[in-house]
Amino acid sequence: MNTLFDKIWDAHVIQNIPDGPTQLYIDRLYCHEVTSPQAFQILREKGLSVLRPEQVFAMPDHNTPTHDQDKPIADPISRKQVETLERNAREFGLTHYGMNTPDNGIIHVVGPEKGLSLPGMTIVCGDSHTSTHGAMGAVAFGIGTSEVAQVLASQCILQQKPKTMRITINGQLSQYVTAKDVALYLMAQLTTSGATGYFVEYAGDVVRAMTMESRLTLCNLSIEMGARGGFIAPDETTLAYLKGREYAPKGEAWNKALDYWRSLKSDEDAVFDNELIFDAADISPRITYGTNPGMGIGITECIPLQGDVNFKKALNYMGFKAGEKLLGKKVDYVFLGACTNGRIEDFRAFASVVKGRKKAESIVAWLVPGSWAVRQKIIDEGLDKVLEEAGFEIRQPGCSACLAMNDDKVPSGKYCLSTSNRNFEGRQGPGARTILCSPLVAAASAITGEITDPRTLQ
């Protein structure tokens, strides 16, 4: 009668504190340059070491420029954060994947592609989009700086156990509807707080049919519904993806792991605190119109006529009006990348739309792979040539325009169609106006210079 979340959580409980939190064992800690410096300083002040350095992996991603990575970082704050992470990793004996090395990229892209994120694990990082790793069948969630210090020192964390929710999506997605559209649809249905306090398990026909990269996109966006995290039970798709990965088990250890991983599923009579069921037929390519990811519509629909107290403020910021369509609206920037849509599958999708066409001259396009491994695949598959012929340039890996912590900032008042995860005010730069979308919508719009339904470019 147990859910998969209960099984993984309970297997990692060290002790339950009466009327308090759970002491939970953590299998993997990821560190990047933004939230970890204070955690390492806490260790120094208390005279502590890292308990299990072999289970901690560090890499810069938020502040890394997406060009000229072989040169010193121009911005002094970004340079200091990146250098501090390297110094901390060296001092405490951690694996560090430095900038401009083949192992580097966005931590939520590199973890799965290296096989560091495995089914049944508990995984944490000082970043809310750690929920991405739930696609591997892991309980993965973001934590704060003081909690990063807890895990570094003890390989444990104090946490209140979340409630459980299962979201089932049945049927078959229509052509040009992606995992990003599914996530944006769910956010619009639940709102950005609809899953607060829950850990979400995704299930159903649509989820089972998804590739691993699509599942990573879906789980990445769980936090945008307010969820503590989201995950998917491992299946043969998961196992096929992991086989041969650098840190995946090998030989007899692999066979033993398979037996365990195949057992990881919710019992048929498991009881969830909340159950929601959706129909794939209701989901079309989507875009956002406001300043949170839940303010979204089907790409051919109109902005609602009314909303909550933040509705009018959001429309004012975005320069939109209630009741109008966004289809055909001029945009200035297109961003393909981030831990949401920076994987090879996303670049294949983008390239499939722009092949044989030309980028609109009015568009500034940033195409940023999520890792150096993804960038190499783009080259190996000849996608770089397809994109270059269409007028696009492949940049170097990093978080890029997902957030304004590096050089890739959208100017004030400009519109950016973005495959990233958040459209908050100023998220991509002070005054920037962000419209979230899938790689297919981004590609179609980059060709026309305006918000375009990719289905019309068949």
Cβ-contact 354, 389 below 8 angstroms:
no
Question: What pLDDT is stored for residue 309 in this prediction?
Answer: 79
Question: What pLDDT is stored for residue 104 in this prediction?
Answer: 98
| Stretch 390-411: mean pLDDT | 97
Question: What pLDDT is stored for residue 319 in this prediction?
Answer: 98
% of the chain at pLDDT higher than 90: 97
Task: Categorize the per-residue pLDDT at 62 as very low, low, confident or very high, splitting at 50, 70 and 90.
Answer: very high
Question: What pLDDT is stored for residue 306 in this prediction?
Answer: 87
pLDDT in tens, 286-339: 999 999 999 999 999 999 998 887 899 999 999 999 999 999 999 999 999 999
Handedness of CA 271, 26, 222, 246 (dihedral sign): negative
Tokens for 400, please give them. 């890029």
Helix-helix angle 344-354:372-380, to 10 degrees: 40
How open is the CA angle 422-117-172, to the nearest 5 degrees? 60
Closest CA to 231 of 130, 312, 337, 156: 130
Question: Does the pLDDT at position 17 exceed 90?
Answer: no
Question: Does the pLDDT at position 458 exceed 80?
Answer: no
Question: What pLDDT is stored for residue 405 in this prediction?
Answer: 94
Question: What pLDDT is stored for residue 267 in this prediction?
Answer: 97
Task: Categorize the per-residue pLDDT at 22 as very low, low, confident or very high, splitting at 50, 70 and 90.
Answer: very high
Question: What pLDDT is stored for residue 126 in this prediction?
Answer: 97
Tokens for 298, please give them. 């089907």
Handedness of CA 25, 30, 35, 37 (dihedral sign): positive
Cβ-contact 262, 234 below 8 angstroms:
yes
Task: Categorize the per-residue pLDDT at 19 as very low, low, confident or very high, splitting at 50, 70 and 90.
Answer: confident
β 13-16/56-58 pair status:
unpaired
Q: Give the Cα separation of 172 and 283 in Å (integer).
A: 10
Looking at the DSSP bridge assignments, the partners of residue 56 are: 29
Closest CA to 303 of 286, 284, 281, 282: 286
- Which run of H or E residues covers position 23? strand 22-25
pLDDT in tens, 348-393: 999 999 999 999 999 999 999 999 999 999 999 999 999 999 999 9
Task: Categorize the per-residue pLDDT at 74 as very low, low, confident or very high, splitting at 50, 70 and 90.
Answer: very high
Query: What is the number of other CB atoms lying within 10 angstroms of the CB of residue 281?
Result: 12
Question: Would you call 75 helix, strand, or coil by DSSP?
Answer: coil
Distance of CA 390 to the CA centre of its chain: 27
Question: Would you call 11 helix, strand, or coil by DSSP?
Answer: helix
| Stretch 115-132: mean pLDDT | 98
Looking at the DSSP bridge assignments, the partners of residue 124 are: 29, 141
Handedness of CA 104, 134, 199, 149 (dihedral sign): negative
Tokens for 6, please give them. 């209960």
